[in-house]
């Protein structure tokens, strides 16, 4: 048996690639995942029996009230001739001609609706007109006097009121000098607070009447467009509520410049919401925009083709948005590729760094000796390329190996 010595030139680049593909990947991937597992927090999902009031519950969508049409406002408005009716807090004057002992001024209607009249006593006047009260007093005095002439006059009106709540300068109780209307109520309440911006202008309000009637008024149509058919008459004890503008939001997500929550303004639609979010970025796919709307625990997803809208002017899919709608702009195919490449490059840099460290500490040399029977190290400090030298040799990039050949 003869032993021969073979000399060959070693390519450090190919050798380094082969190392990375083999044990280097396994070794450093193991170290990476080990360090990640030690440094990260991983909650363990659990489900325990809780009290009903503390249990997890999904938030159901809020009920949306449609704006009242002029026809509905007309149907809910009183059509009979207006007559003022007395109520608690009113000041009443009672005058009896030639009977000063029976006359009295500034009688206050009590909270239970009674007034006290000389020689008669207490009478209930609540929700009665001055003429009706006058006839009541006259009939009772006719039992004591001959043809008494009675006059009832309201000195101060306090039962022609409404309650204005919400986003106005002076919320509270307002009193109408005559027939009350919605615009008059908003003016008496001071209108919009002075510290509000133009973007937070009055957009809608609700008129709550009685126990079962709510009338939603589109203030944008009333104030900006001058649709006076929406200027609803106000009845006594109506509640006018102007909600906060920040209570209603839409959420724009995906490939836009500034994703986030956007306050609903007048005429909010898909295109306007995307523009308020800064518009689509270069990674966006305008042909795949989705509107997600929660109907119950299961929502609806609608695809919107903004590319078709912009190219052909088809506004049929530029849907009006409601509170809590989600607008999602999908990424394009190239955007997905760029994202994957962006996440992959740091990983490759970590592997390259691991290989360099392995050469520095002699780990790679041991792996080469164990798997390929090669000795030496890769010199990563040279500028022309990595050199491999043997433990006994002096020629760079040359490895001396021993082999056996059969006789």
Which DSSP category does 23 fall into?
Answer: I
| Residue carrying structure tokens 């008669």 | 120
The end-to-end CA distance of the chain, in Å, is: 5
pLDDT for res 268: 85
Under the banding of pLDDT at 50, 70 and 90, the label for residue 116 is very high
CA distance 180 to 353: 79
Select the more confidently predicted residue: 264 or 155: 155
Cα–Cα dist 237/184, whole Å: 15
Torsion of CA 123, 124, 127, 129, to 10 degrees: -10
More confident residue, 15 or 146: 146
The pLDDT assigned to 387 comes to 45
Degrees (nearest 5) of the Cα angle 242, 248, 252?
Answer: 160
Nearest to 234 by CA among 207, 273, 272, 200: 207
Q: How, if at all, do strands 2-9 and 121-124 pair?
A: unpaired
Average of pLDDT values for 5-30? 54
Model confidence at 173: pLDDT above 90: yes
Q: Which residues of 126-143 are buried (b: 16+ CB within 10 A; e: fewer)?
A: bebebeebbebbbebbee
**pLDDT above 60: residue 404:** no
| Cα Rg of the chain (Å, integer) | 43
Instruction: State the chain's mean pLDDT as an integer.
Output: 77
Distance CA 248, CA 323 (A): 5
Could you tell me the domains of the chain? 91-156 (3.30.1950.10), 160-246 (3.10.560.10), 248-331 (3.10.560.10)
Q: Across residues 185-199, what is the average pLDDT?
A: 75
Tokens 């021969």 sit on residue = 4
Which of the pair, 115 or 52, is modelled with greater confidence?
115
67 has pLDDT over 90: no
Residue 124 has pLDDT above 90, yes or no: yes
Give residue for tokens 């709307």: 293
Least confident range of 35-44, 65-74, 235-244 = 35-44
Angle, to 10 degrees, between the axis of helix 25-39 and the axis of helix 333-360?
100
Task: Dig out the tokens for 37 from the structure.
Answer: 């597992």
Sorted by sequence, the CB contacts under 8 Å of residue 277 that are 6+ apart come out as 252, 256, 257, 258, 259, 260, 262
Alpha helices in 189-237 (DSSP H): 219-223
Structure confidence by residue, pLDDT tens digits, 347-399:
656 656 666 766 666 666 666 666 666 666 555 554 444 444 444 444 444 44
Q: Mean per-residue pLDDT for 125-153? A: 93
**pLDDT confidence tier of residue 141, bands split at 50, 70 and 90:** very high
In the predicted model, what is the mean pLDDT of residues 262-284? 87
Region 266-274 average pLDDT: 86
Structure tokens at 39: 């440094």
């Amino acid at each position: 048996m003869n032993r021969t010595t073979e000399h060959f030139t070693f390519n450090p680049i190919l050798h380094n690639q082969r190392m990375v593909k083999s044990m280097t990947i396994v070794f450093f991937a193991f170290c990476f995942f080990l360090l990640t597992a030690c440094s990260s927090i991983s909650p363990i999902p659990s489900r325990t029996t809780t009290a009903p009031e503390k249990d997890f519950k999904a938030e159901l969508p809020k009920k949306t009230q449609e704006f009242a049409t002029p026809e509905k406002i007309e149907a809910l408005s009183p059509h009979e001739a207006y007559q003022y009716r007395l109520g608690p807090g009113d000041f009443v004057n009672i005058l009896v001609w030639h009977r000063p002992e029976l006359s009295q001024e500034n009688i206050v209607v009590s909270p239970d609706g009674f007034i006290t009249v000389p020689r008669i006593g207490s009478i209930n006047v609540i929700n009665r007109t001055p003429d009706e009260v006058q006839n009541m007093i006259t009939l009772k005095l006719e039992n004591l006097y001959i043809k008494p002439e009675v006059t009832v006059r309201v000195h101060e009106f306090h039962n022609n009121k409404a309650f204005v709540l919400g986003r106005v300068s002076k919320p509270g109780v307002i009193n109408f000098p005559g027939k009350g209307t919605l615009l008059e109520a908003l003016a008496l309440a001071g209108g919009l607070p002075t510290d509000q911006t133009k973007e937070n202008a009055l957009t809608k309000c609700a008129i709550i009447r009685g126990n079962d009637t709510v009338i939603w008024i589109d203030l944008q149509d009333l104030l900006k467009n001058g649709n006076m058919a929406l200027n609803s008459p106000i009845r006594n004890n109506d509640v006018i509520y102007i909600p906060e503008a920040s209570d209603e939001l839409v959420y724009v997500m995906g490939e836009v410049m500034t994703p986030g929550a956007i306050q609903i303004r007048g005429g909010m639609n898909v295109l306007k919401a995307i523009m308020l979010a800064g518009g689509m970025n270069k990674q966006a796919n305008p042909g795949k925009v989705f509107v997600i709307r929660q109907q119950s625990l299961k929502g609806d997803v609608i695809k919107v083709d903004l590319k078709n809208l912009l190219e052909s002017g088809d506004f049929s899919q530029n849907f009006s948005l409601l509170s809590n709608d989600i607008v999602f702009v999908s990424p394009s195919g190239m955007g997905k590729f760029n994202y994957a490449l962006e996440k992959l490059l740091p990983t490759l840099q970590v592997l390259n760094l691991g290989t360099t460290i392995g050469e520095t500490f002699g780990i790679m040399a041991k792996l080469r000796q164990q798997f390929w029977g090669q000795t030496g190290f890769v010199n990563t400090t040279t500028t022309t390329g990595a050199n491999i030298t043997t433990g006994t040799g002096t020629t760079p990039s040359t490895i001396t190996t021993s082999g056996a050949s059969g006789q």
